[in-house]
Structure 1
Amino acid sequence: MRLRLVLAVLSLPALAQAAAEPPLSSLTLVGPPAIVFKAGRDACDGADVPDASARAFRDATGAVALFGMHYRNRALRGPDLDRLKLDCKVVLDSGEKADPALYDDRSWITATWTEDGTAIAALVHHEYQANEHPGRCTAKGYEACWYNTITAAASTDGGRSFLRTTPPAVAMAAPFRQEVGQGRHRGFFNPSNVFADGRFRYVFVSTTGWDRPGDQEAGVCLFRTATPADPASWRAWTGTGFTAAFPDPYRTKAAAKGTETCKPVAPFPTPVGAVVRHRGTGAFVAVFMAKKGDMAKKGDGPAGANFPESGFYWTSSRDLLSWDVPRLLVAGTTLYDDPCAAAGGLIAYPSLLDPRAEGRNFDDVGDTAILTYVTLKTEGCTITSDRDLLRRPVAIKVWP
């Protein structure tokens, strides 16, 4: 998942508060990094590299499964977050099939949700890489032919295996087929973790936007559902409500006019790494990466910012729609920077996990948590497969 997209971020939804507020919280590094997974030491085969933000859940026995690897999907497993080891069993493979309507080219498990630890719903970042399939792309190169969709898979055995449905279950797709708009990457990308608020489950998903139908703006959109096991039930925030659906364009016909679009939420210039809810106050905390010079425009509220330095940033919110000014947590050259300028390595894919989370899906935190992220070695201008998954302790303080 060689993510190089930079999204244009638009103003906050109309529900955002008009007056600026002070930051809700503080997030502070309180210890050095430690290695969770090292590709050259812990891999089962050459496909095992961390390539997405970490997602974890407790299964029905209380054991932990953590996803965030490559498109030959395996999980790290252990009795808790502190003792994880890669399980060599492939739980969801990628078929690399040429027919885009099958949604089985290259797939990454990028978000999970479970109520009981046995039945697991997964959102899957699916890349149709048309450049790899002769005659499927008029352009050349990976990004020019990259068509992305969020599909779904399900497990009935606590995440030991995942199955796709026939026909494929599509949760979020652009309203056109892969041959449309070639020349740049298109579609929906990189879900955050799924997280709860009351009876609903939410996820942030990125899009590069499109002109027709619907004139979708690029940015990060907020989706919700009351039934994560039903991929068709996800609806996106439009600025007035959660009503926009993005079904499979190979099995539905999008209207040329009147198609609903999602309203991007500021201040995120790139995909959201993770969102967690502070147990003591109910405030949400999000982490993401940005490169120096990225712009998060001011909307109707306080969330505008220029990013003065590359690295991991965080922000907090009470309502998921208005977020306070992002602050730097870890400085470093990110996956969105020029790899030619990286001094030997990049950082990417931040997430937050609390080993003492009360929820089965690790979507809540107390006053301490673990920042997980990936380091990627570079050789000249090439990003290599020499990658480590790291963890680093953080302290969290949220003001009432």
Structure 2
Amino acid sequence: MMRLALSTSLILATCAAQAAAPAARMTLGDETQTVFQPPRDACDGNDVPDVNPRAFRDADNTIAMFALHDVNRALRGKDLSHLKLDCKVVYRSSFSANPAAYDHQSWIAATWTDNGKDIAAIIHHEFHGDRNGLCNIPKDKAGLGCWFNTLIAANSTDGGASFHKLSSPVVASSPFRQDVDQGRHRGFFNPSNIVSSNGYKYFFSNTTGWPGQQYGVCLFRSAEPGKPNSWSAFDGKDFSIRYADPYGPPQPLPAECKPIAPFPVAPGAVVRQRGSGLWLAVVQAWKDDKFFPVSGFYYATSRDLTTWSEPRLLFATRTLFDNACGADRLNSYPSILDEQAKTRNFEDVGEDAWLYYASMRVDGCSHTSDRTLVRRKITIRAEGQVR
């Protein structure tokens, strides 16, 4: 299961947001609509919400959305309000015990297409050494202590009906191999959606770091998103950092990417408001002593993707980051999609859009796979604008 347990102390060390207030305000509607409910809509037991929803329009103007588990199937329909799960599996890993194969567990986590036929996907790939005899961590700590995560690339040439992993698939990896004694989760995790600006494509991803790289959220850029080795990370001045496959020939250690504040993890979605050109990001966070007074979904704004406002609370809720004890449900994996988006990849919004997220039942002190994909209206107004 795609989990999001992270280190609060490391995050607090990297948060230093711009002091200015957001130039826009989001308001969350009260009505909750069900988008996907497994008992009603699933093809089999693999179909549960487990990733931030991503959508694009194919060449026939049909919408494809990825929002479920590692047996990757698409919700398809004529618009966001009429999506139905297509039972055809478009991408699935084999649970390979070889970490160099990048074929253990895979989630389609971000997509991009220019023409609706050729689709570039960024895959959140998990390798769990404890399931393959490649971990020396005690069983009670093995879940995180044996988890090695990599962002890899897969492409489609048939409008998203099938995806194939590239022969050299690594987009972003820690500069070392999976280690039986690593002791904590390592690598790059949970990329945001891909957006376009000034001839380039961008996405955010969080990394747990290593000596020479602090924990944080890295910003990536590429002019050719279908080529995994074309993605480079922001070093604070330029996009100069590229990450090699640690199972390939030895490479020099990469420079440090500059963590983008105030995000504790990669935003669930980044969108650009039509007219104002303002970037808006939604991110889930847990309570801390600086930016996040309560756990929940927050939003921030930017003009350039590198400098962001202080976050504002959109929805107070326990998430997968929080202790589940005593809760009935947790909410996670937020995304923003506009029914009236003008771009093929749903990277733009107007003054009204939808907040999508997964709502999951809690059993005792554990979250479960009893999950529903839901959405709620959000209204976006420029600061000072009358509603």
TM > 0.5: yes
Q: Is the 8 A contact 1:6 1:336 kept in 2?
A: no
Distance 2:181 2:229 in 1: 25
Q: Counterpart amino acid of 1:392?
A: R
* Aligned 1:1-400 pairs, distance under 5 A: 1-6=2-7, 8-9=10-11, 20-134=19-133, 136-139=134-137, 140=139, 141-166=142-167, 168-179=168-179, 182-211=182-211, 215-255=212-252, 259-293=254-288, 305-341=290-326, 343-399=327-383
Kindly report structure 1 stretches of 4+ aligned residues shifted beyond 6 Å: none
Q: Which has the higher contact order (CA 8 A, sep 6+)?
A: 1
Q: TM-score normalized by structure 2? A: 0.94
Q: Is the 8 A contact 2:14 2:215 kept in 1?
A: no
Distance 2:319 2:265 in 1: 11
Aligned with 1:143: secondary structure? Answer: helix
Q: TM-score normalized by structure 1? A: 0.91
Give ranges in structure 2 of 5+ residues lacking alignment.
none
Superposed displacement of residue 22, structure 1 = 3.2
Superposed displacement of residue 306, structure 1 = 2.7
Q: Counterpart amino acid of 1:43?
A: A
Aligned with 2:166: secondary structure? Answer: coil
Distance 1:181 1:279 in 2: 49
Superposed displacement of residue 68, structure 1 = 1.5
Q: Is the 8 A contact 1:152 1:170 kept in 2?
A: yes
Distance 2:350 2:263 in 1: 24
Q: Counterpart amino acid of 1:364?
A: D
Q: Is the 8 A contact 1:63 1:78 kept in 2?
A: yes
Over the matched positions of the two proteins, sequence identity in percent amounts to 50
Show CA shifts across 1:348-389 (max 9, x none). Answer: 000000111111000000111000000011110222110000
Q: Counterpart amino acid of 1:336?
A: F
Superposed displacement of residue 165, structure 1 = 2.3
Summarize the Cα distance change of 1:399–1:381 in structure 2 as closer, same or farther, 3 Å threshold. closer
CA RMSD of aligned residues (A): 1.6
Aligned with 2:164: secondary structure? Answer: coil
Superposed displacement of residue 339, structure 1 = 1.6
Count of residues in correspondence between the two structures: 378
Superposed displacement of residue 41, structure 1 = 1.6
Q: Counterpart amino acid of 1:317?
A: S
Summarize the Cα distance change of 1:185–1:11 in structure 2 as closer, same or farther, 3 Å threshold. closer
Q: Is the 8 A contact 2:15 2:263 kept in 1?
A: no
Corresponding residue of 1:298: none
Distance 1:163 1:330 in 2: 37
Superposed displacement of residue 12, structure 1 = 7.3
Show CA shifts across 1:4-48 (max 9, x none). Answer: 1246345579xx97xx43321100013411100012221111111
